[in-house]
Amino acid sequence: MPDIVSAEFAADPYAAYRIFRENAPVYWHEGTQSYVVSRYEDVSRAFRDQIFTTANYDWQLEPVHGRTILQLSGREHAVRRGLVAPAFRGSELQERFLPVIERNARTLIDAFRADGRVELVGQFSTHFPINVIVDMLGLDQADHARFQKWYTSIIAFLGNLTQDPDVAAAGVRTRDELAAYMLPIIARRREDPGDDLLSKLCLAEVDGTRMSDEDIKAFVSLLLAAGGETTDKAISALFANLLAHPDQLAAVREDRGLIPQAFAETLRFTPPVHMIMRQPAEDVELSGVAIPAGSTVTALIGAANRDPDRYADPDRFDLFRSDLTTTNAFSAAADHLAFALGRHFCVGALLAKTEVEVGANMLLDAMPDVRLAEGAAPVERGVFTRGPGALPLEFTPAA
């Protein structure tokens, strides 16, 4: 049985996922002390069913973020989600933050649009979502390098499946450094609020409840990690997938309305997050395996999204597939599992969709004949989160 913490698994998890689904759809993994679940039906149940809680985040997330919305349930969760969700949907997102997204994409692209070449991961994808978040929060763009360092440390902590003590210690240091940076700013915004997202979080109120300074700091930490890492990986993966399928790239270039379909298929085919943990509150059975209450369940999104019992020819990238509904792809009713499902569906899904649509459109405008650099062979990196390690491109600069 492949080991999810081995170098072989990291090199090609998709081959391992096939073995898991066919031979051991639920099995105990000693190294992570968790039940590993790989079939679509079981993973989707772990996300939807109220039996499965996020109590595991008490040890998995809280040490690095502080207590976040992901750990809450019931009315407490509903109220807290109601405080933060409005900024990430509908008119607020389109009217207030769309110009921020467009400005940040344009600034990054301007730096290479005349060059005829770009390494997309290092020169665009890694920086774009962090710059957007920093701008939305009304923080200092000059501190970008610090935010980049913090979010990289947080992601390493979350994906520390082997419990490397140095990685764990760096994550705890990040929590302290981010708190020292953010808490004084939050206090100032409470005294003198502006028109930014951070001020809105300070002023937001639902049913007489407001967020504490610590709540806001924890949400900012979560936003940097979840909002940065997923969009970073998704943009690079979108282009890697389209470049590997020239006919589909040509279709998207000709009809930009296909970008949401291409993004949805990218989320299914090469999701940015490959695994999420849950913890059942009572004994439960998945694929005939009894899982005791309080156990950790590692839900393999990357495996479930390629389950042949759910998707036809699942190892083929096809933005035109009929068994993936684009209209629901960025909501809690999504077919794919890249943003989880149910009450803990990613609150920033529409922000990610908007960033990817804006970024992809502007990149295609700047690089009308974009192609892989000669000799380039993109390789995915990562286990907990995964995406192209580098994506060297060439193009004829647009007039």
Query: What structural domains and CATH numbers belong to the chain?
Result: 7-366 (1.10.630.10)
Higher per-residue confidence, 330 vs 159? 159
Higher per-residue confidence, 88 vs 282? 282
Q: Give residue 344's pLDDT.
A: 47
* CA dist., res. 69 & res. 36, Å (int): 25
Q: Give residue 186's pLDDT.
A: 95
Mean of per-residue pLDDT scores for the chain: 87
Question: How large a percentage of the chain has pLDDT more than 70?
Answer: 88
The model's pLDDT over 336-388, given as tens digits with 9 standing for 90+, comes to: 777 665 554 566 677 888 899 999 999 999 999 999 999 999 999 999 899 99
Smallest CA-to-CA distance from 339 within 279, 262, 267, 278 is with 267
End-to-end CA distance of the chain: 54
111 neighbors 123 (Cβ within 8 angstroms): yes
Mean pLDDT, to the nearest integer, of 280-296? Answer: 96
- Out of 202-206, 243-247, 346-350, 385-389, least confident range: 346-350
The model's pLDDT over 41-98, given as tens digits with 9 standing for 90+, comes to: 999 999 888 899 888 777 777 777 777 666 556 666 566 566 666 666 666 666 778 8
* CA dist., res. 131 & res. 304, Å (int): 32
* CA dist., res. 249 & res. 244, Å (int): 8
- Helices and strands (H and E) in the chain: how many: 19, 12
* CA dist., res. 372 & res. 83, Å (int): 43
105 neighbors 371 (Cβ within 8 angstroms): no
Q: Give residue 142's pLDDT.
A: 87
What DSSP string runs through 262-301? Answer: HHHHHHHHS-SB-EEEEEESS-EEETTEEE-TT-EEEEEH
Banded model confidence at residue 333, pLDDT cuts 50, 70, 90:
low
Token match 């915004």: residue?
A: 189
Token match 């380039």: residue?
A: 376
